[in-house]
Amino acid sequence: MKRHQFCTLCHHDKLVSLATPYRHAGLVQCKKCGFVFSGLIPSHEELVAHYAKYDRSKDISEITVKRYTELLTEFSKMISGRTILDVGCGKGEFMEVAMNNGWTCHGTEFDDHAVELCKNKGIKIFQGPLSQYQPTHLLDVITSFEVIEHINNPDEELRKIHALLKPGGLLYFTTPNFNSLSRYLLKGKWNVIEYPEHLSYFTAGVLNKKLQDIGFKKIHLDTTGISIQRLKTSMKNVPHGSTETNADQLFRETAERKPLYKLMKSSGNFLLNTLCLGDTLKGLYRKV
């Protein structure tokens, strides 16, 4: 199997293997920038076989639609244009909400089934890697929901995003936080570490520095949430993204209805964000 000889984020050649419990995913860490990634390079056949297993039958919840709408409102307050690209858009759920709110939407995706679903919704979809995407105009906003952890060329991907944005354009992303409390608790059982599902593992410090070096200015970068579902499935050695009843969704729905649960959620997120220990990195950056 082929292996990376250089850091996929800064291209430094001094890499150190991370010992057990992460050996199964071939994790290495760059001694220069601190980035953690899988030193293994999956074949095209491996990736096709892995992502063919994705379940795209589930619909998003009303709460997720509400959060997407709030996010789009935040974007609208910061820029005048309304063109948006969702990288790795899946079956286009975020873009469907965006179109209903008056945005001109574009997406990129690999999977044949997901591409067909997007086309049926009227979404302008490009099938293939972001590196090959060439829009006719620069974009106002680019979003990346739980995508950059799947790629093994993050430097190239982030630079391409910067190039696709208008001056002053916005980048919004979410990705797992390698410094999360969940990883410290679960160690080798943390099922976010899964090859070839996840190839890049970011921390707030590493990702923020890279984005600033490329030419982005931070608006906010948060580390929020702790996944009850992930704790449950990890302890039972169930793969990430299983079809079990989602405990996180049940808690979100309860927090929407009951003030006490909402207070618990906001207080917990405040503490996790302060300590940079939340499960998820959520960042909003502007191109300078």
The whole-number pLDDT of residue 187 equals 85
pLDDT average, residue stretch 185-206: 92
Return the exposure string of 83-112: e unless at least 16 CB atoms fall within 10 Å of the residue's CB, then b. Answer: bbbbbbbbbbbbbbbbbeeebbbbbbbebe
pTM above 0.75, yes or no: yes
Could you give the C-alpha distances from 280 to 2, 119, 181, 223, 258, in angstroms and in order? 30, 30, 10, 5, 24
In this predicted model, what pLDDT tens digit does every residue of 6-64 receive, in sequence order?
999 999 999 999 977 787 899 999 999 999 999 999 988 888 888 877 777 778 888 99
The whole-number pLDDT of residue 233 equals 79
> Cβ neighbours of residue 25 under 8 Å, at least 6 residues apart?
38, 40, 193, 194, 195, 198
**Cα gap 285→172, rounded to integer Å:** 6
Neighbour tally for 194: CB within 10 Å:
16
The whole-number pLDDT of residue 243 equals 45
Q: Is the pLDDT of residue 1 over 70?
A: yes
The whole-number pLDDT of residue 245 equals 53
Confidence band of 247 (pLDDT split at 50, 70, 90): confident
Q: Is the pLDDT of residue 244 over 70?
A: no
**Cα gap 217→136, rounded to integer Å:** 25
Which of 34-48, 152-166, 257-271 is predicted least confidently? 257-271
In this predicted model, what pLDDT tens digit does every residue of 93-139 receive, in sequence order?
999 999 999 999 999 998 888 899 999 999 999 999 999 999 999 99
Which of 14-28, 138-152, 225-239 is predicted least confidently? 225-239
> Cβ neighbours of residue 268 under 8 Å, at least 6 residues apart?
226
Set out the domains of the chain in order of their start, with CATH numbers: 57-174+210-287 (3.40.50.150)
Nearest to 108 by CA among 124, 121, 120, 94: 124
Where is pLDDT greater, at 211 or 21? 211
pLDDT average, residue stretch 76-93: 95
pLDDT average, residue stretch 244-254: 72
Nearest to 36 by CA among 226, 224, 221, 199: 199
Q: What percent of the chain is modeled with pLDDT above 90? A: 68
Mean pLDDT (the chain) is 91
Confidence band of 253 (pLDDT split at 50, 70, 90): confident
What the block records as the tokens of 169 is 């354009």
Neighbour tally for 280: CB within 10 Å:
17
**Which of the given ranges, 60-69, 201-210, 259-268, has the highest pLDDT on average?**
201-210
**Cα gap 1→40, rounded to integer Å:** 7
